[in-house]
Amino acid sequence: VQLQASGGGLVQAGGSLRLSCAASGRTFSSYVVGWFRQAPGKEREFVAAISWMTGNTRYADSVKGRFTISRDSAKSTVHLQMNSLEPEDTAVYYCAATENRPSGSTWYSPALYNYWGQGTQVTVSS
């Protein structure tokens, strides 16, 4: 499956953006799809993920209550709605997918995900 991320941009603190991750080549039918981000000089970190089959979701503590991950079955697309953005959210955001079934902490590990899209830059100004 190929992943195409879009929706990044520049926004002021407190603003909102919606990222999209579209699948091509295959549908997401049995995948877990996640979003990760990487700020300059930092390691890639987990943001959110959703199981396409069950709709179960996971969020990093830093984004709970502000970000929402959802799936659009008709378009085989996963969205990440980001509200109340903070300068600390500035990073390149990557979508990723896996056919593996996560359990426990593996949801949050980049190593679980074997398909990655190109990044999309999110910049939040103070």
9-58, pLDDT tens digit by residue? 999 999 999 999 999 888 878 899 999 999 999 999 999 999 999 999 99
Q: How confident is the model at residue 118 (pLDDT cuts 50, 70, 90)?
A: very high
**Which value, in Å, is the radius of gyration of the alpha carbons in the chain?**
13
- Cα–Cα dist 23/21, whole Å: 7
Gap between the terminal Cα atoms of the chain = 37
Q: Around Cβ 80, how many Cβ atoms within 10 Å?
A: 26
